[in-house]
Amino acid sequence: AKQQNDDDQRKPASGRPDGPKQPVRPAARWLPLVIVVLLLGLLLISWLVLATPPAFYRRVVGLGPNAEALAGRFITEAAAVIAAADREGPWGVEMSQDAINAWLGRDLPRNHPELLGRSAWGRLARPRIEFAPKLARIGIEVTTWGVRAVAWVEVEVGLRAANQFALTVRRAGLGSLPLPRDAVLRECANRLAKAGLEAEMQRFRDRSLLLVTVPEPLAERPSGSAQGPRQPVRRWQIESLRIDQAVLTLAGSSRSIDRRRAANRATP
């Protein structure tokens, strides 16, 4: 009985016999820290992927000391094209990417801030463009929840017919993260359609392309002093498009259109 009492006294209150405590494994002790470090590493990698702009954007984002003069030059060239399109005959213009980027960086945010502002992706800022042979690379900063990234696209641009353009996306991304090309083309089609252009996606040689057509009403401007249906119109059209290194060249013509004669020819 005494031996039984001694055994009962050595047992803990839980009824289990005393034994050596199991040591905490080092792996279990460091596991929470390892998880935190991995999560921080993933966040850092994700931030670096998004925050790293493409090389072309880094080349063109900075504006030189003559940006104001270049922006004014772009406005003058655009006004000259509009004036030439109002006259009968051929016209043409050559625009440099430096002049376009100067206008995008100076005049656009100052005089047309409504074209930037916020979008479905976030706040937009600092759009830039770079020209290469047959290619246009476009990038713009997008800021959401304090995270800034550059959305960009590399698009091949060609002229299928007068006032009809063919766009093919070669690459697109958000920072260093690639984006699906077809999704980018569909978004471009939606935005161009809202701007009044005709946009249609097609398949060509296992690639998607976007056909963009300027409708006739957008390509027509009143001509002369007559009013109503007798008023003649002048129709402009782009007949040549060439993209070289850092330069965009457009050429076309304008001609007078008699709406009544055009309607009679269209009537069977």
How many domains are contained in the chain?
A: 1
**Is residue 245 scored above 90 in pLDDT?**
yes
Assess whether pLDDT exceeds 70 at residue 60: yes
- Domain assignment of residue 101, yes or no: yes
Q: Is residue 142 part of a domain?
A: yes
The residue segments making up the domain with residue 234 are 53-266
Residue 200 CA neighbour count, 13 Å, CB half: 9
- 173 in a structural domain: yes
| pLDDT value of position 156 | 93
Q: Name 152's bridge partners.
A: 139, 173
Q: Tell me whether residue 149 is in a domain.
A: yes
Q: For residue 262, what pLDDT band results from cuts at 50, 70 and 90?
A: very low
Q: Mind listing the pLDDT tens digit for each residue in 181-229?
A: 888 888 888 888 888 889 999 887 778 889 999 998 877 777 655 555 5
**Residue 46, domain member (yes or no):** no
Residue 6 within any structural domain of the chain:
no
**Residue 37 falls within a domain, yes or no?**
no
In a domain, 81, yes or no: yes
